[in-house]
Each structure stands twice: as C-alpha cells, then as structure tokens.
Amino acid sequence: MATMISTDNPLLNLSDLPQFELFHVEHIEPAVDQLLLECRAEINRLTSMKEAPTWQNFIEPLEVIDNRFERVWGPIGHLDGVKNSDEWHEAYVKCLDKVTAYHTERGQNSALYTKFKVLSESAECEHYNIAQKKVIEQALRSFQLSGIALPKEKQIEFQTISQQLSKLNSQFSNYVLKSTQAWFKHIIDETQLAGLPESAMGTLQQLAQQKGLEGWCVTLDFPSYLAVMTYADNRLLREEVYRAFITRASDQADNTEFDNSEHMALIRSLRHQKAKLLGFEQYSEYSLATKMAESTQQVLGFLRDLATKSKPQAEQELDSLKDFALKAFSMTDVQAWDVTYLSEKLKDQTLSLSQEKLRVYFPVESALNGLFTITQRLFGVTIQAKEGVSTWHSDVHFYELINENKEVIGQFYLDLYARENKRGGAWMDTVVTRWKSPDGHVQTPVAYLVCNFTPPVEGKPTCLTHNELTTLFHEFGHGIHHLMTEMQYLDISGISGVPWDAVELPSQFMENFCWERESLDLIASHVETGETLPDSLFESLKASRGFLSAMMMLRQIEFALSDFEMHAFYDEQNVEPIDQLLARIRNEVAVIQPPEYSRSMHSFSHIFAGGYAAGYFSYKWAEVLSADAFSLFEETGILNADTGAKFKNTILAAGGSVDPMVLFKAFRGREPNIDSLLKHCGIAV
C-alpha cells in the first residue's frame, strides 16, 4: 500500500468533510501532484505483484485510491463552479491536464487491464455476487473505451485528444460564465420596468447596489433574465435582454472576447477523432456504449415519435398564443422574446394563474419542510439541519438523512441562490460516495445540491416560483439517488455506473410531487397567513401542467435532436455548421423560430462542457421512465409508504449494480409506456 497522504495541505486532509474556509489557490497544485504521485505508485505496486489478483488484494486497494481521488479532486472542481475566480480557475485548468493524463494512462495500462481480465476469468470470480461482477464488467468496458486495444502511437494520440477535450470543456464553461457576467443594463427610470412584480424589482435593485449603483440592474443571471422575459411590459427591453442572453459567449455578443465558436468546432472535431480511434463510426455510438438506448436509430426514432405526437397540438397552442397577442396587445408579429411574457399573461387570463400568484405559497422554509416530510413519508428517512459545518458561502446549509434506527445514512450541502462568480443552472454532484473500506468502515455518502434561485432581498422571506420548486425537487431526486444507495462498492454506488439516460429517473420522478394535492398540502404555506394552496389555485395549477406543454416538449426535442445529430452525422470532409444544423432541426420540429442572431448552442454547457454530449435525449428518455414509475403512486396513493419503500429498495438502493431496465420492470412489473409521459404533459395520446 502506498504511503498515506500528508494532512499538512488542507485539501489532502481526508479525515472529515472538506474544510472549505481553509482552502486557498496555492494548495491546489501541490495537493493534486501528491495525490497523483501516490495513485500511480499504488497502481504500479498492484500491477507488479506476483500473486493472482483477488477482490481483497486487487479491487479493494484500487477502491482506496479512487475514493481518495474523489475526495481531493472533487472540492477543487466544485469551488471552480460555485466560487469562481480567475486565479482558482487557472490553477484548476492547469491541474485538469494532469488529472486527465492520469485517467487516460490508467485506462490504457495494459498490466492493469490484464489483472482485471485474469480476475474476471478466475474461479473466484464465479462466486462473486452480482454487484462485484458488475464492477469488473464495467472496468473492462472502461478499458475498451479508453483505448486499451490501440497500438502505442494511437494510445498517445487518444491521450492527447482527451487532454485537449478536458481543457476545451472547461474553457467553454468559463467563457459562458464570463460572458454572462460581462453584460448588465443599468436602469434609472422605473417606468422601463413596468410590469415586474415587487419581488423582481427588489432583486434588480439589490443587483444595482452590489455594483455601487442607484436604481436597478438587469443581469443575465437566470433569475434576473427570467423576471424581465416573464413580466416586463417594455417589449424593447425584453428584446434587448433576450438578445444579450441568447448570444452569450458567441460572435454576436456585445463583448466577443468570450466567443465559444472556435471551442465548439474543436470539441466536435476532437470527439469525432476520439470515437474513430476506438472503432466507432460516430461519437454518438461511443456515447451510446454506456447508455440504455441501444442505437442511433432507436434514439432518433424515439425523439421523432415524440415530436410527431406533439407537433399538431403545439401548432394549435401557438395559434392560441398569437390570437391572444393580437386581441390583448394588438401584436401581429409574435417573436421569441414575447413567448414567455405572452404565455404568463394568457395563463393568468385563462387559468387565473401566474408564477407570482403561486410564489407567495412557497417560502423556501415551507418548501424544504414539505420536501423533507414527503421524503420521510415515502422512504422512512428524517432530514435534519446540522450546524457548524464548513461551507463555501454563508447561504449554504448542511443536512443529514437519518433512518428509522437513528443512523445517519447520508448528508448534503444545499446552495440555493444565484450570485456573482457562481455557474448558472442547477445540479447535484458527489462529495463522498458510500463505500465499505477494507477495514469494514462504511463511508457515509455526501452530496452537493446547487440551484440558482432568486436570492433573499432586504431580509424578507425568500419565496420560490413553482418552476423553482420543481427544480428543487429535481435536484433532490438526484441527491437521494446518491444518498440512499445500499451499495458498498465504489464504482456502482449511488449514481456511479448508472447509465446517463437512466440517471434522470429519480430526479424527474420527484418533480411529480409538486403537482399533487396530497403532497402540495405539505409544501405550500402562504408567506403571510400560512394557509395551504386554495382549491381554485390548485385546480388552475393542475390544469397548467398541460398549458403550452406541446410547445415546451418540442423545444426539448429540438435541443435533443440537435445534440444527437451533431454527433451522429459528423463528416470531417464537409462539416455541417452548427447554425445550419440548428435551422434544419427547427424547420422539422419547431413551431416558432428564433431570430437570425440566436446562438443558443454557444452557452449550452450541458453538451459542450457537461456529460450530455450525444446524450441530451436522456432527459426525455428518463422522463418516460419517471412518469410511468409515478403512475404506480397514482394507482396506490401519492404518498403510499409501501410503494415508496419499493421505489427506494429497487431504483435507489441498487445504484449502478443492475441494468436500469431490470430495475424498472422489478418496480413497475412491466416495460415502460410512453403514454404516462404524454398524459402528464397534457398531450393527447
């Protein structure tokens, strides 16, 4: 066993949770250098040993260094996303090269691969349990996808490409953040912001104060952007803010310093080269090698089937929106920057419902209490806040999951609000993975849950829109997938080893509880009176689930098809420009066209900086599974504890140890059915 890592550097102290207040940029490179040195030494020891590999002498020591790696490198990447600075990002990117090189050389380590092969073919392996066999099976697949079969010169080429891609992914994400922060609009005349509710005005005023300005500031952080697009009566302002948002990190932005065009072209080219090196015709095939979906044809057929079923209704919805725009606003040319605004007005007129009417019923504390109560009812787990834990910002809180035996089975950090130097969007990431170490100690899993909601203003209670509420439940669904696992092997514990198009199942499943009377009664509590959601508002909310839902369905299909075709039909001799590809897909499936200057892909971090390349379809794929899984609760009771226990003990507990389709059928008793999704979306079957 390699020498234990020194604890002089706070990033290398693995005895407890990360001590964020002690981390400084000068710690990063020394910590990563020492970590990689010791990981390599341990791999060298394991590949040099004379004894035949066994679980105890081979797999367990590998799990030790992999666990150590996660706990050292994880916080470095996390802080780059939630507390970004130029200095931290520069050090992170520098170390990213080293980390990528380590992973690639490990994936191409023939001696290590041989040990896995020998173990997989041994008599001992025949007696391993399903989970252990899955660990070995996935390791062998990872070797194949890392170029283990390539000749040496091709392996070097593969490693170079992998390093370039890691750097480009990080640069893409950083450019989106920098471009988002580079733009703001200072407003002195309050009449320009007519239509915005008091809560949004308070947010914009707070943004101005943070910049040392009077009046209000509109920024491209999502709460600010969405408030203008939803409520601003000033159509010219909506267009200006829309243009700034949709052209972020592009050649069309006001500030083109952070143009991602070159990054995107290089990423597409390098992904294609990487796939070709491994014997795949296209990167989409490489992506599908680790997913539930089996082929390009299956994915494209699935997406186009959804589009075909949705488009007639979407066309009717757009006609209704245009009719309303003409009658209510004498608007004859509905544009992309009008859709959100008109939708909110039409929803209020037809359903007497708006995000602002709902917001007062979802104070953050009530929403969290409701979420935690639902979790307890369904899964028998209590959630309690824990004070005194080191965090990266004063807004961040820490919680523990406690089972019926009073044991802490999981913990998570909750970072809810948008702020400067924080990456946009919402996500769950792992801090610590559940794992049984060689000495028998079971490690408590820990997660980061990150959102970008409108921050508190002047000490007033923060209230969520219903959209924000569903985002909270979505990320929490990822969280419980990680935290409620019962696996004890690192590579298949929690979300590890779960195919990307199944990993969204628990997250999208949890969103359903934001739409049901029984669960909403536990969540909703008027910020002033404490009353639950009135019947009239609930009925409107329930009806709104299908409001313009086909248009929203097509928007997601547009993203998914554009992503997949971008990676499924790449021709290095005749590369289809992204803007042409997008136009072609939109002409096929969209019912409303954005303006010529639109550059939505330039800030699409899911595809160019995250793990969703040739996999954005996963959201819709998993939504079919989640809607159909929830239909069992609709049949047995929304908060039925027995059904909740069944979901926990199959979908959540198994982690990546069992094929997700096997798990789904064990839970639902049959193959998934697309009708549940269409029904939830209000789309006629």
Q: Residues 30-47: what's their mean pLDDT?
A: 97
Q: Do domains 10-107+109-145 and 261-351+549-616 have the same CATH topology?
A: no
pLDDT class for 7, splitting at 50, 70, 90? low
Pairwise CA distance, residues 464 & 453, whole Å: 8
Confidence of residue 3 (pLDDT cuts 50, 70, 90): very low
CATH fold, domain 10-107+109-145, is Glutathione S-transferase Yfyf (Class Pi); Chain A, domain 2 (1.20.1050)
DSSP assignment of 72-118, as one string? HHHHHHHHHHHS--HHHHHHHHHHHHHHHHHHHHHHT-HHHHHHHHH
In the predicted model, is pLDDT for residue 611 greater than 80?
yes
Q: Region 486-509: what's the mean pLDDT?
A: 96
Amino acid letter for position 660: P
In DSSP terms, which residues pair with 442 in a beta bridge? Answer: 436
Q: What residue spans define the domains of the chain?
A: 10-107+109-145, 183-258, 261-351+549-616, 364-545+619-680
Class of domain 261-351+549-616: mainly alpha
Tokens linked to 261: 């065009």
Q: What is the pLDDT of residue 685?
A: 63
> Would you place residue 563 in the very low, low, confident or very high pLDDT band (cuts 50, 70, 90)?
very high
Contact 433, 479 (CB under 8 A): no
- Region 299-323: mean pLDDT is 97
Provide the sign of the torsion angle of the four alpha carbons 214, 220, 223, 226, taken in this order: positive
Q: In this prediction, what percent of the chain has a pLDDT beyond 90?
A: 95
Q: How far is CA 561 from CA 284, 556, 588, in A?
A: 12, 9, 10
Per-residue pLDDT, averaged over 396-400, amounts to 98
- Under a CB-based contact definition with an 8 Å cutoff, are residues 570 and 272 in contact? yes
Q: For residues 390-408, b (16+ Cβ closer than 10 Å) or e, as one string? A: bbbeeebbbbbbbeeeeee
- Long-range CB pairs of 673-680, under 8 A, 24+ apart, other chains included: 673/624, 673/628, 674/305, 674/306, 674/624, 676/624, 676/627, 676/628, 676/630, 676/631, 677/623, 677/624, 677/627, 677/628, 678/309, 679/627, 680/512, 680/545, 680/627, 680/630
- Span 218-252, pLDDT tens digits: 999 999 999 999 999 999 999 999 999 999 999 99
Average pLDDT, the chain: 96
d(CA 478, CA 414): 13
Instruction: Give the pLDDT score at 457.
Output: 87
Average pLDDT of the residues in 171-187: 97
- pLDDT higher than 50, residue 72: yes
Active site residue 475: yes
Asked whether residue 253 carries a pLDDT value surpassing 80, the answer given is yes
Mean local confidence (pLDDT), 105-132: 97
State the architecture of 364-545+619-680 in CATH terms.
Orthogonal Bundle (1.10)
Q: What pLDDT does 109 receive?
A: 97
Phi and psi dihedrals of 664, rounded to 5?
A: -60, -45
Name every residue whose Cβ is closer than 8 Å to that of residue 381 and which is 6 or more positions away in sequence. Answer: 375, 401, 402, 403, 409, 484
The pLDDT of residue 394: 95
Confidence label for 188 from pLDDT (cuts 50, 70 and 90): very high
Q: Is the pLDDT of residue 271 over 60?
A: yes
- Euclidean distance between CA atoms 124 and 70, whole angstroms: 29
CA dist 677 and 323 (Å) reads 28
Confidence class of residue 627 from pLDDT cuts 50, 70 and 90?
Answer: very high
Would the pLDDT of 369 be above 70? yes
Give the confidence band of 5 by pLDDT, cuts at 50, 70, 90: very low
Residue 2 has pLDDT above 70, yes or no: no
User: At residue 199, does pLDDT exceed 80?
Assistant: yes
- Bridge-based pairing of strands 408-417 and 446-453 is parallel
pLDDT of residue 460: 87
Least confident of 2-6, 312-316, 508-512: 2-6
DSSP secondary structure string, 175-222? HHHHHHHH-EEEE--GGGGTT--HHHHHHHHHHHHHTT-SSEEEESSH
Average pLDDT over residues 656-676: 94
Which one has a higher pLDDT value, 63 or 461? 63
Q: Determine the pLDDT at residue 18.
A: 96
In percent, the amount of the chain with pLDDT more than 70 equals 99
> How many other C-beta atoms can be found within 10 angstroms of the C-beta atom of residue 52?
12
Q: Which listed residue (42, 344, 356, 475) is catalytic?
A: 475
Average confidence (pLDDT) over 650-675: 95
